Structure 1
Amino acid sequence: MSDEKARSSVDAARDPAQPVLPTVNPNAEKSQAKEAASFHPSVYIAIWISLSSSVIVFNKYILSKDKLNFQFPIFLTTWHLIFATVMTQILARFTTILDSRKKVPMTGRVYLRAIVPIGVFFSMSLICGNQAYLYLSVAFIQMLKATMPVAVLLTTWGLGVHPPNLKTLGNVSFIVVGVVIASFGEIQFVLTGFLWQAGGIVFEAIRLTMVERLLSGGEFKMDPLVSLYYYAPACAIMNGLVFLFTEFSVITSEDVSRVGGLTLLCNASVAFLLNVSVVFLIGKTSSLVLTLSGVLKDILLVFASMMIFHDPVSLLQAFGYSIALGGLVYYKLGAEKLKEYLAGGSRAWAEFGQTRPAARKLMVFAALCIAFFFVLGSLGPKYAPDQADKLYNNIGNMMGEKGV
């Protein structure tokens, strides 16, 4: 009875003209509305794959002798880094996207002792990687890049970041075996290009190991865009010095004008947008999704290389690359996680077959057609080079007529 009197007295004391307190947390409602307005993670994955593939194909298109024939990869890398330096400085001053840099205890001493050495190796990896495009096909370069986890693992052991583990070494051995088989199957193997790409992988592995050691303290946590904000100036200076002693004396204004200022601007813009997309992809998904998306991107790049640049891929090469990709996925996920994903995928595939049987049959048929044409494309350049060249040219002409 006393409780009822207390409630009635409170109700009587409340002014009906005053706003009623909300029963739901407004911040929670805002966050839910924000999540509802954001894109599905698959959109971010598709954007990252598109930009990452575009950078590689774009660079190859500019540097290839059969396309724009701009034989100055160090100049191209330097231009990318100068553009990235300018853009990150603009973003830092006029937007909030780089505000997390304020949490990094960066001083002049730390920059010289930590950022600059890492920037040097980053610069060397970019130079070597772009030099490889002058000699090797995009498809083969992507196959060689599959050995990156192995190089990083060995580097962490060599620099004492992690203790050696024979079980882990056994897990990544499949990647090495697959890449070795792919290398034996490469039709257009050039030792100079192979050594440039191998050097790029080694330099990148050392850079990643140094970054891991730098970030192990916890206070230097940086997303890829903030890292670019700090590394780009040092790398631009480093690449600029290399450019002065190598390509500066031979490059001419005619070479630059042949490519065109608009083309160079678009090329640098796509490379910079790739770094921005990585931030959003990791923020909306995870680094594991980024790794698995990279595997899908590499496969698509192999097909793109065959279609755009007419790069031949032998059947032995495709077999070796399949082993390397399988080893990479196994190394990243582990046996238990892989079994869990496979079980979930098989269940989802069975449910899809029950709900939409016609669509599943169509997908199976499309996969078989793609595999069939991939096998023919692998055998064609070796056993029927003239017919394969004619087919590639017809496909390229068809794509050009449709404006692709």
Structure 2
Amino acid sequence: MSVVVGSDEARLDDERRTLLPSTAKDDDNSSTHSIGSEEAPNYRIYRAVVACILWACTSSANILIGAYILRTDNFKYPLLMTGAGQIVSSIIAILSRPWLAHHELTVREYCTVIIPLSGMTAIALGLSGAVYLFLPVSFVQMLKAASPIDVMLVMFLFGLLNPSGNLILSVVVISCGCLFAAFGEVSFSLIGVAVFFASDIMDAIRSVWTETLLGRMALMDSLYYIAPASSVWLVLFAAFDEIPRFIAQKDYEKVLAKPMLYLVYSTMGFVVQIMVLAVINETSTLTLKIVGQIKNIATIIGGVVVMGNHVSNQQIFAYCVETVGFWLYQQTMMAERAKAAKEAEDLESNSALLDEGHGTFGAQHRANSRSHPLSYSRSHSSQSTRSTTTRTYSTLSQYSRYSVDDPGLEDRMEGRLQGH
């Protein structure tokens, strides 16, 4: 697997220190927690368990409440619903900005990065909400196990991934599980499935773009820029159909009749994002995904109990097949990351020896390669081998370090935050 990271390594280190102080997990911090308190490890386990439980509960509740509003309450306005959630996130991000470290963007950066990125975010959110107009909650949760397919496709098209045989095998297994689940769905809707995969692919593209363009920007910082702009996009999209229907059919009376229900749903999206960050901060991305599988099962059961969804024996078997494929996918990705980390360590040692042997030239050449990781192909042919090695080191070391020490990177690169 090869991953291309176009950011300067020093800039990434700088952003990690200034923008994400809460997610730094160096050895000094971990040792500080354990000094003077024998109960510190147990306390950390307790915090991790609480974070996982809170995330699972809030994520499942967000899904079930949204489906209830759309289907049971017959409030068929997914764009307005997601727009309300983005407005709430915008307000919270703006109010909290003075107390948090943040990164300032220029007007040009805002116009060329934030506006198109927020448009993609609005489309992804709108489609993900519209899915529940066509498909039951339980079936949607089964389809979500197919997210690695879209992720791998998008990363491959962007040149961020060279799929191995095991990775392709895992995708084939997941695809077979999805087909079994689809054939066993009594409320199957081709439009609903198309909307789901369109949402999933759009979200994967959005996540790759977010990582590429915004890099290590913190959660609240990215919300500060993206949430208000995506709110405007959602309102513009809704103005073509949903807003006229909302006014003509007087469906605002439904909101006035149950204000707390709609207010809770509008804030749940933000809460889920914070809980995801808490789980990753207290445990790891792998734990998040394992708990996510358990949470999906609980959500499927919740769809059966609360929403009256029907789940056949064939679909239960299909979900087991998808879970096996998902497990194989995660094992392959972990092996690839471990391999990348080992290669990065070896190349760092070789680069150190190269610096010792070539003095200032070697150090300067490696620094230039990191500053311009894509310019090595324009180097003189006599230096091509060393330039390629340096570029590979820069790429692998950045990816392996941030995917291991801060696993949140993998989530952004793999498509979506769990629970949405």
Match of 2:58 among 51, 57, 80: 51
Matching residue of 1:230: 225
Q: Whose radius of gyration is greater, 1 or 2? A: 1
Aligned residue for 1:91? 96
Question: In the alignment, what sits opposite 1:274?
Answer: 272
**Which of 253, 260, 263 in structure 2 is aligned with 1:257?**
253
1:204 and 2:199 aligned: no
- Write the letter of the residue equivalent to 1:247: E
Q: 1:325 to 1:254 in 2, by over 3 A?
A: same
Q: Which residue of structure 1 aligns with residue 285 of structure 2? A: 287
- 8 Å contact kept, 1:119–1:232: yes
CA distance in 1, matches of 2:123, 2:230: 9
Comparing 68-77 and 159-168, the one that deviates more: 159-168
Cα distance in structure 2, aligned partners of 1:125 and 1:149: 16
3-state DSSP class of the match of 1:106? coil
Q: Do 2:167 and 2:332's aligned partners in 1 also have CA atoms closer than 8 Å?
A: no
Q: How much has 1:80 moved relative to structure 2?
A: 0.7
Instruction: Kindly indicate whether the alpha-carbon contact (under 8 Å) linking 1:57 and 1:138 is maintained by their aligned counterparts in 2.
Output: yes
Contact 2:170 2:328 in 1 (8 A): yes
Change beyond 3 A, Cα 1:185–1:223: farther
Scaled by the length of structure 2, the TM-score of the pair is: 0.66
CA RMSD of aligned residues (A): 2.4
Alignment partner, residue 178 of structure 1: 177
What do the CA deviations read for 1:157-189 (whole angstroms, capped 9, x no partner)?
112222344442122221111111111111110
For the pair 1:240 / 2:223, whether they are aligned, the reply is no
In the TM superposition, what whole-angstrom CA distance separates every residue of 1:297-355 from its partner, at most 9, and x where no partner exists? 11111110011111001111111111112211221134998xxxxxxxxxxxxxxxxxx
**Structure 2 residue runs without a partner (length 5+):** 1-30, 336-420
Give the Cα separation in 2 of the matches to 1:130 and 1:162. Answer: 29
Change (3 A) 1:35 1:105: farther
Listed one character per residue, the Cα deviations across residues 192-224 of structure 1 (whole Å, up to 9, x for unaligned) are: 212211211111111122233336xxxx31343
Are the structure 2 counterparts of residues 105 and 83 from structure 1 closer, same or farther at C-alpha, using a change threshold of 3 Å? closer
Paired with 2:328 and 2:133, the residues of 1 have a C-alpha distance of 32
Superposed displacement of residue 45, structure 1: 0.3
Letter paired with 2:130: Q
In structure 2, what is the equivalent of residue 330 of structure 1? 328
Which AA in structure 2 matches 1:210? W
Distance (whole Å) between structure 2 residues aligned to residue 165 and residue 254 of structure 1: 54
8 A contact 1:225–1:275 mirrored in 2: no
What is the distance in 1 between the residues matched to 2:276 and 2:333?
27
Deviations along 1:142-168, whole A, 9 cap, x unmatched? 111111111011111112222344442
Q: Contact between 2:142 and 2:178, CA under 8 Å: does it hold in 1?
A: yes
For residues 322 and 167 of structure 1, the distance between their equivalents in structure 2, rounded to whole angstroms, comes to 18
List structure 1 segments (4+ residues) > 6 angstroms apart after TM superposition: none
- AA matched with 2:143: L
Name the SS for the 2:239 alignment partner: helix
For the 8 Å contact 1:59–1:267, the answer to whether it is kept is yes
For residues 166 and 71 of structure 1, what CA distance do their matches in structure 2 show?
Answer: 43
Could you tell me which residue of structure 1 aligns to residue 152 of structure 2?
Answer: 153
Find the aligned partners of 2:134 and 2:309 in 1 and give their Cα distance: 12
Check the 8 A contact 2:76/2:133 in 1, yes or no: yes
Q: Which has the higher contact order (CA 8 A, sep 6+)?
A: 2
TM-score (norm 1): 0.69
- Retained in 1: the 8 A contact 2:280–2:288? yes
| 3-state SS, counterpart of residue 296 of structure 1 | helix
Alignment deviations for residues 219-257 of structure 1 (CA, whole Å, 9 cap, x no partner): x31343433232211211110100111211110384122
Query: Are 2:38 and 1:42 equivalent residues in the alignment?
Result: no
> How many residues are matched?
299
